[in-house]
Amino acid sequence: MNNSNLKEPLYRKVNTRARGVTHNKGGDFKYARNKKRETLEQVKGTMYSGKERGLDYTPLFKFLLSKVGSNWDEVFSEAKSRLDKTDPIFWIVALQENEKKDYVRAGQASYFSGMYIDDNNILQLTILLYTRRI
């Protein structure tokens, strides 16, 4: 298979653009190793497979904003093929009329315009941005 046809994923594994980002590596072993009673964690061990740290979905949100006015089925199929899971798509895109939001907060200080799917299956912004003519 030719790797030149593969597109980049729509997320970054680690947010390296921000300063002071902590990735919550987990508890330190030095606090658990000298206990009188062994914990279940020490006996069986654990890998904490359910924790997801350091994923940044800003490229996904920018991709979705660039596809406003496009057919939703095509946009969703492309985004789904380039993601690890589909949940982040619906953080910013509302499927139901009552779920629409003007702005969506993603992260500590990142805000994106909310989107929805209209009756014609077209991706739309919830707030129309007007430009002033001079």
Q: What is the DSSP string of the chain?
A: --GGGPPPPSSBSS--SSTT--------GGGTTT-SSPPHHHHH----TT---S-B-HHHHHHHHHTTTSBHHHHHHHHHHTSS-STTHHHHEESSGGG--SEEE-SSS-EEE-EEE-TTSBEEESSPPP----
pTM of the model: 0.67
C-alpha–C-alpha distance, residues 52 and 27, integer Å:
15
- Over residues 88-109, the pLDDT tens digits come to 999 999 988 788 999 998 877 8
C-alpha–C-alpha distance, residues 89 and 55, integer Å:
14
User: Average pLDDT, stretch 39-46?
Assistant: 59
Residue 54 reports pLDDT greater than 50: yes
Tell me the two tokens of residue 76: 């969703």
Confidence of residue 72 (pLDDT cuts 50, 70, 90): very high
Q: What is the mean pLDDT of the chain?
A: 78
C-alpha–C-alpha distance, residues 90 and 74, integer Å:
15
